[in-house]
């Protein structure tokens, strides 16, 4: 009996030790991942341009170098897609959430939300395309379809793409559709390494791609995107889809059209929100009101909906998780800034997010200072430039003579700014004597420092500088 009890005790001791070792291993791996993801040894920030260009039949995909220090610190990967008219950006998904700003043009965007029903149905409605060819015994059979909701996107929209959700985009306009996006690689949804990935369900990267930078940087940065079906066994896929093997072979074949393809018909025809009636499915899975019906886009450039407005300085429009509910699942947000000529974005820091700025128009002088009191960015930025302001780094922007517009992508669904100037500033909350003692200035100078801008907030109008 004593031997049995001893064996049981040893068994429990060993089991407990193994469990604790496993738990410590998991915690260590998680800590290492967070430490690697959050290393921000920023010595200098730069206004950056894309360094990889992937040319496809129907457009261009441009990638910034995600291995730059500023992007590694923020844990993000920027990208810009240019889609030609009547062209389709092929279905793909990413393990990390992505925010997209439509800089130019318009189009249709479709998302395939897992677990959500197809609420758009076609059933003998006029205007739908019929099968072509009089050689098919002279009979034209009507194409029937059902799919999830399609979203109209236009210039000025911010669009949310959740992690792991397959999506596609079709340019049905008369001009190029330009979409600038930031993917949050360090988001909790991504359990892979901090690296940009897109899994394509069709097409593939063509040979027509170019890289800039040194050979080492090119080898480090080169990204390849290929059709995930290409590596599967064709017979296995034919059985899975219950289609002939020849169809699978067509899906797997080399496709030099690239990631954005030209639509062969004059126009893609599908059930569109503004053209067809939406029919709700009778099947319910409990997700309809909490996830499946969430809006994915919001117009970000409406002057009447500005969150911060100054008649002399400009405006800022913000979209966060309170305004766009799907951002609660992504923990991202964005703001659109429009600064009038020579106006200033007040010195401030963001308390709980990194900020990725993309210049949409004009030019400005930007300064960013780190915790060591060193300037990490002191330069002019122009249209098309992109730069990062890390969390807690203090920054300010002064617009040029022709004004300045930007869109900033944030790595928090509810970002919080702490300004140094204005009626909500950190200095205004401090006693005058604290300011006077801190800077060795008179109480009158401290009072001026505290109250001279008390009627203004994040946007400061230009003024003539008095000579001392």
Query: Which tens digit of pLDDT belongs to each residue from 377-391?
Result: 999 999 999 999 999
Residue 110, in any domain of the structure: yes
Contact call for residues 77 and 183 (beta carbons, < 8 A): yes
339 and 248 part of one domain: no
Asked which of 240-254, 303-317, 342-356, 401-415 is least confident by mean pLDDT, the reply is 240-254
Confidence of residue 316 (pLDDT cuts 50, 70, 90): very high
349 and 252 part of one domain: no
Contact call for residues 49 and 60 (beta carbons, < 8 A): no
- Phi and psi at 408, nearest 5°, equal -115, 125
Q: What is the number of structural domains in the chain?
A: 2
365 and 271 part of one domain: no
Residue 415, in any domain of the structure: yes
- The pLDDT of residue 293 is 80
- The pLDDT of residue 136 is 42
Of 293, 320, 338, at which residue does a domain stop?
293
- Phi and psi at 201, nearest 5°, equal -95, 0
Domain region containing 389 = 302-460
110 and 76 part of one domain: yes
Residue 19, in any domain of the structure: no
Decide if pLDDT at 137 tops 50: no
* CATH number of the CATH domain containing 416: 2.60.120.10
Percent share of the chain, pLDDT over 90 = 63
pLDDT one-digit tens code per residue, 223-246: 678 889 888 999 999 999 999 999
d(CA 6, CA 267): 78
Residue 135, in any domain of the structure: no
244 and 319 part of one domain: no
Q: What is the largest CA-CA distance in the chain?
A: 96
Residue 362, in any domain of the structure: yes
Is the overall model pTM greater than 0.85, yes or no?
no
369 and 413 part of one domain: yes
pLDDT one-digit tens code per residue, 182-193: 999 999 999 999
Residue 372, in any domain of the structure: yes
- The pLDDT of residue 292 is 79
Residue 47, in any domain of the structure: no
- The pLDDT of residue 58 is 95
343 and 398 part of one domain: yes
271 and 328 part of one domain: no
All residues at 6 or more sequence positions from 264 whose CB lies less than 8 Å from its CB, including other chains: none
Q: What would the mean pLDDT of 323-350 be, rounded to a whole number? A: 96
153 and 224 part of one domain: yes
Q: Looking at per-residue confidence, does 344 or 225 come out higher?
A: 344
How many CB atoms within 10 Å of residue 211?
A: 19
356 and 217 part of one domain: no
Q: Quick one: which of 278, 275, 327, 273 has its CA closest to 300?
A: 327
Asked which of 6-15, 75-84, 136-145, 277-286 is least confident by mean pLDDT, the reply is 277-286
Percent share of the chain, pLDDT over 70 = 76
70 and 167 part of one domain: yes
Q: Looking at per-residue confidence, does 284 or 234 come out higher?
A: 234
């Amino acid at each position: 009996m004593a031997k049995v009890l001893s064996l049981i005790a040893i068994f429990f001791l060993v089991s407990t030790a193994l469990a604790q070792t496993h738990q410590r291993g998991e915690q260590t791996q998680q800590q290492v991942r967070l430490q690697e993801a959050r290393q921000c040894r920023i010595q200098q920030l730069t206004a950056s341009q894309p360094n990889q260009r992937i040319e496809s039949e129907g457009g261009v995909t441009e990638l910034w170098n995600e291995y730059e220090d500023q992007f590694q610190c923020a844990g993000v990967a920027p990208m810009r897609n240019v889609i030609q008219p009547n062209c389709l950006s092929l279905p793909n998904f990413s393990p990390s959430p992505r925010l997209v700003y439509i800089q130019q043009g318009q189009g249709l965007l479709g998302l395939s939300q897992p677990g959500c029903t197809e609420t758009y149905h076609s059933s003998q409605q006029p205007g739908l395309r019929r099968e072509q060819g009089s050689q098919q015994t002279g009979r034209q059979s009507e194409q029937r379809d059902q799919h999830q909701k399609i979203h109209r996107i236009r210039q000025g929209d911010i669009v949310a793409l959740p992690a792991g959700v397959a999506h596609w985009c079709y340019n049905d306009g008369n001009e190029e559709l330009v979409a600038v996006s930031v993917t949050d690689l360090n988001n909790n949804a991504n359990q892979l390494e901090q690296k940009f990935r897109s899994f394509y369900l069709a097409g593939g990267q063509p040979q027509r791609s170019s890289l800039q930078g040194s050979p080492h940087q090119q080898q480090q940065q080169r990204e390849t995107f290929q059709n995930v079906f290409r590596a599967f066994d064709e017979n296995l896929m034919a059985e899975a889809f219950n289609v002939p093997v020849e169809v699978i072979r067509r899906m797997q074949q080399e496709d030099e059209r690239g990631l954005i393809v030209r639509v062969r018909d004059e126009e893609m025809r599908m059930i569109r929100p503004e053209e067809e009636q939406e029919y709700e499915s009778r099947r319910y899975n409990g997700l309809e009101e909490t996830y499946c019906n969430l809006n994915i886009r919001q117009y970000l450039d409406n002057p009447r909906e500005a969150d911060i407005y100054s008649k002399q300085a400009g405006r800022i429009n913000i979209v966060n998780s309170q305004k766009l509910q799907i951002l609660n699942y992504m923990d991202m947000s964005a703001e659109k800034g429009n600064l009038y000529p020579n106006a200033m974005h007040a010195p401030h820091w963001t308390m709980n997010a990194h900020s990725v700025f993309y210049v949409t128009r004009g030019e400005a002088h930007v300064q960013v200072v780190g915790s060591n009191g060193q300037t990490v960015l002191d330069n002019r930025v122009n249209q098309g430039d992109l730069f990062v302001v890390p969390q807690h780094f203090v920054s300010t922007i002064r617009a040029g003579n022709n004004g300045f517009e930007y869109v900033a992508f944030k790595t928090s669904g509810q970002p919080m700014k702490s300004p140094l100037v204005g009626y909500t500033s950190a200095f205004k909350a401090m006693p005058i004597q604290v300011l006077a003692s801190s800077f060795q200035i008179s109480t009158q100078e401290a009072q001026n420092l505290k109250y001279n801008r008390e009627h203004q907030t994040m946007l400061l109008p230009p003024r003539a500088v008095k000579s001392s």
